[in-house]
Structure formats: C-alpha cells, structure tokens
Structure 1
Amino acid sequence: MDNRELFESILVPSAKRSDEYESRVRGKRVQISNTARAAPAPASAMLARQARRAQARMRRAKGIPGPTASTSSGPCRPSKMPYSQAIMMNTLWLSYARELVGIPDSESSAESIDQLEQNLQNPAQLQSIQNTLLKADWTGAELYIVRSTNASVVHLCGIVVQETHETFRLKQSDQEKVRTVPKYNTVFRVQIPTSDNENASLLTFELYGNQMRYTLPARATRKHKAKKTIELN
C-alpha cells in the first residue's frame, strides 16, 4: 500500500480525497505519532495528583499491584528511629535556633544578655523573633502540643525527625514508632535555652501550626499579619 492509498483509506470517503492528498501530503513529511516519546510532566501539583489517581485506578482495574515502598519516588518516611539519634538532631537544632533568635554565646558579655532580655520585653522585637521562627527549619526541634482540634495529640512532646507540607513527624522518648502530628489547627510550644548549661534559662514561644504550614522554601517567602489570637475551629 503506497502513501496515497494509506491516506485515502484513513479519510472518510470523499470526492476530494485525491485533491487533499496532492495539496497537503504529497512531498511533505507527516508525523502520524510518536509512541516512544514520554508524556510531558503535569503542569501543576494538582494535575500531578490527578494523574497519579488515574494511574492507580487503572492499576486496580487491571489487577496490577502498586509500587512498593522500596521503589517509591516519594520522600522517605522514617517509621522507627533510636531516640539517641533524635537527641543529636535536637542538639544541632538548638545551636541553629540560638543563632536565629540572636541569643549570644557563652563568651558574650553581660551587656549582650541584658540587651536580649530587653528585646524580648519589646512587643515589636518579640513579634520579629516569632516571624523568624515561623520561617525556620524545624527538623530537630522539640515541640510540645498545647492545643489542637485533634484531641489525641494534645500534650504530646517529641523531636521533629521529618517535616512535610501539613505535618510534623515526632519521635517521643517513650514510643518506638514515629508519631505524625498535623500542623493545621494545632498550637505548638518550643523552648530554647540561652546556653548549653543545664541550669540555663529558657525562652518559651507558642506558635500556631496554621502559620507553620507549607515546607521551608514556601514558608521563607510568606508574610503573616500580627493577630491577637487565632481561633481553632
């Protein structure tokens, strides 16, 4: 079958098939399809989720098992971790947090410490410190859940071993598995010691999980208006 016969067999029978072949196909390269080319990536996260759900429905309809944890391309979700390893993460985070807040090191003078205490008594300075903490990396921080619409997580305390868009994964000292805590409608408390000494004074901050949502790159560019309170529905 030559090109003309192939073209005319595809088209609906028409008296103009020969004319259309001469004007649109003859002597030209016509690419019918390229089955070897991969489909383009989804343009947004929403379209990517829809594509994954469609693929999952097709797998279930054909009885094909889904990808296992070893072949999944998503982020690693630690289910178990020694608490001693979480303690080391917390030690590193405290050093990082003291630099963010502006706590002077142990070799600083008494005047620097007095200046920090004055800054904490100034509402504007305190608001600036809280905004800085909202944009911080929380992996390694020890968080205490003060209030939440999810009653099962209230009063939990643990070290963050992983942060996602909507959750913190906490390692507790008395639990073998890592606990997932939602950020939405949850109030967290964090304490930052002013030095490495055991008897050092603690700076206590309460932060709203509604403002801590999103991952670090997205939080770093977000701005939050000062509010007296945020109601938890």
Structure 2
Amino acid sequence: MTSNTLQPSGSKPATLLDPYAQVSFGKAERLRFSTSSPFTPNYVSSNLSGSSDPMAMYNARVKGRQILLENPAKESRLRKMQEERRTKKMTQKERKKVGLIGRREAKQKGVWKFDSAQARFRLFLPLHQLWMGYMSELLNLQQRPAQPVSRDMVKKAMPSASSMHPKLLKADFHGSIVSVSQSKNPSIVGVSGIVIYETENTFKVITREDKVKTIPKQNSVFSFAVPLYSTLSASHHDDASLPIPTPLDSSGEAAETLKTVLDTEHLLFQLYGNQFRFRSADRAGRKFKHKETIEL
C-alpha cells in the first residue's frame, strides 16, 4: 500500500516507519539498565530516526504515561451485596448500642402514643417557653428595653426577613403555637394549639380546651408567631444550654407566670402547608428554592 503526498519545495522527503520491523537486538543479548542511561528514553529516541527531535516527542507523548497490562479486577455483584448487608448490620448494631430506634419500631412499641390523661394545655406551657428561648437564640433576638416600646424601637429590633426565612424553614416547630387561617376543610379553620408532634403531613396540637387535634398540612395555610424580643436572660450565651422552665404542679398554680408568645410583642408569619410537607429532620438538611407561593 503506497501513498503519494505533496511535499513543499525545499523540504526533506518524509520517512516512512515500518511498525512491523524487527527490533534491532541481537540474539541472546541481555538488556543492561542503568540510571545514567535509562532504557525507555534511549529506546524511543533510537527508533524515532525519522523525527527531527526524538527527545521532545518522548517527553510529550511517552514520559510519565502508564500502560495497563491487564483489565482491572471488577468487584462481583454478590460481593457488593454482601458488603452492603454487612455495613447495614454494623449500623443497626451501633444504633442499638446508642439506644436509637427507627420510626417503624417506635410506632410498634407505641412510643408516640399520647396518654389522654396528660392532654392538658397548661402541662405543655413549659415546652412552649423552651421553644421561645430556642427561637430567641436561633434568630439572635435583642433584649427587651427597659423603657416603653415605641414603633421606632420595634423597627430597629425586628430582624431582617432575608435572614429569618431560611432559619424558620429549617427550625423545629415542636412547642410552637400554630393556627389554621385558611383551609379547604372548613371544619379545621381557626384551630389553634401547641405543636406536640409533627409528621411529614400533619401537625398534632393540644388546644386551650385540652383537646388533641391532628391537622393535615395539605391544602391548609397556618399562622405562627415568634417573639420580637429575646425571652432569655442577658447573661445567656450561645454555648450554654437553654433554661428549662419549672414544671407545673397538679393544681396549675404556676400557669399564671408562664405566658405564650401571643401575650407579648411578636412577629406573625404565614406557613403554606403544601410547601411544608416534610419531616423536621428532613427540613434541616433540605435546600429550599425561592419561588412564588401557589394560592389555595
């Protein structure tokens, strides 16, 4: 097979290399390797006689390259499945050692079953107070001033909406007071209470009438409030744990000292349940996109 190529005037004729030519080694000749004259560069440069600069071609195309002499070992599917089972068993052992249980096991053991005898609104006021302190620390709220609050002071104390919204989306709502402002189900409009349990699709609240209500998030619009000023003491710092309110006694005498967020200066927000259908643990690691709200 021959080929005719046009050569520019004044240039040397191109030399054809035969890739099937025998290597110019004598019979029974041993290769001698030394660091002063490596074999690979010398071999490549000696066989590239048609190139104007053999060492440049070696540095560009050969130096530092590696050739796989065989296909890499592929892990079998059976061994991969065995590794996954082993990892799953180890994870379950670690969870049992720590004392953690899954949602299915907790449901079977009745961990989240509520005792109707404990359905008292005043018994969950300390939980609500704890949530107010949690919001104060999360939103970095200011301390309440000593003088009477004016409108200008409220504007200065109000955090920016751009900093509050991402935090509230990932916040824990156990202990908050939520109210149904709109819903396609008219029978739940106006229901308000302290959140005692949140699932992916529902809020379970305890109302002021000491009744437990399960409110679906779908097709419902909720309203909730956060305090305008911090409910924590001025000496509280971020590394310290939140103060736990004193539990109420059976007579409820301490109920007068515990106020809800609605009894003080507060900020009111609306929450659209269709965009909030996630568990609290899933919301903490989810990245929400800013988009317009679809009305009911």
> TM-score per shorter chain, which class?
0.5 to 0.7
Task: Confirm or deny that 1:72 pairs with 2:108.
Answer: yes
Task: Confirm or deny that 1:91 pairs with 2:132.
Answer: no
**Equivalent residue, structure 2, for 1:205:** 269
**Equivalent residue, structure 1, for 2:295:** 231
Task: Confirm or deny that 1:192 pairs with 2:230.
Answer: no
Q: Of residues 169, 181, 184 in structure 1, which corresponds to 2:215? A: 181
Q: Structure 1, residues 37-72: CA drift from partner, whole Å, max 9, x if none?
A: xxx99xxxxxxxxxx9xxxxxxxxxxxxxxxx9x92
CA distance in 2, matches of 1:144, 1:85: 19
**Equivalent residue, structure 1, for 2:246:** none
CA distance in 2, matches of 1:227, 1:179: 31
Q: Secondary structure at the match of 2:132?
A: helix
**Equivalent residue, structure 2, for 1:11:** none
Task: Confirm or deny that 1:137 pairs with 2:172.
Answer: yes
Amino acid at match of 1:129: M
Task: Confirm or deny that 1:216 pairs with 2:280.
Answer: yes
Stretch deviating more after TM superposition (163-172 or 207-216): 207-216
**TM superposition shift of 1:107:** 6.9
CA distance in 2, matches of 1:185, 1:78: 26
**TM superposition shift of 1:79:** 5.2
- Cα distance change of structure 1 residues 168 and 138 upon mapping to structure 2, 3 Å threshold: same
Q: Structure 1, residues 169-196: CA drift from partner, whole Å, max 9, x if none?
A: 010011x431000112211111122245
Q: Secondary structure at the match of 1:133?
A: helix
**TM superposition shift of 1:106:** 3.5
Rg (Cα) greater in structure: 2
Tell me, yes or no, if the aligned pair for 1:137 and 1:216 is still in contact at 8 Å: yes
Runs of 4+ in 1 over 6 A off after TM superposition: 107-113
Q: Secondary structure at the match of 1:88?
A: helix
Tell me, yes or no, if the aligned pair for 2:157 and 2:228 is still in contact at 8 Å: no
- Cα distance change of structure 1 residues 211 and 98 upon mapping to structure 2, 3 Å threshold: farther
**TM superposition shift of 1:101:** 2.1
CA distance in 2, matches of 1:72, 1:199: 39
CA distance in 1, matches of 2:109, 2:263: 45
Gaps of 5+ in 1: 1-39, 42-51, 53-68, 120-124
- Cα distance change of structure 1 residues 164 and 74 upon mapping to structure 2, 3 Å threshold: farther
Report the identity percentage.
33
Q: CA RMSD in A?
A: 3.2
**Equivalent residue, structure 2, for 1:159:** 194
Amino acid at match of 1:105: Q
**TM superposition shift of 1:108:** 9.8
Tell me, yes or no, if the aligned pair for 2:228 and 2:266 is still in contact at 8 Å: yes
Q: Secondary structure at the match of 2:108?
A: coil
Tell me, yes or no, if the aligned pair for 1:211 and 1:224 is still in contact at 8 Å: no
Amino acid at match of 2:295: E
Gaps of 5+ in 2: 1-87, 90-103, 232-258
Q: Secondary structure at the match of 1:72?
A: helix
Higher relative contact order (CA 8 A, sep 6+): 2
**Equivalent residue, structure 2, for 1:64:** none
Amino acid at match of 2:202: T
Q: Secondary structure at the match of 1:138?
A: coil
- Cα distance change of structure 1 residues 220 and 114 upon mapping to structure 2, 3 Å threshold: same
**Equivalent residue, structure 2, for 1:23:** none
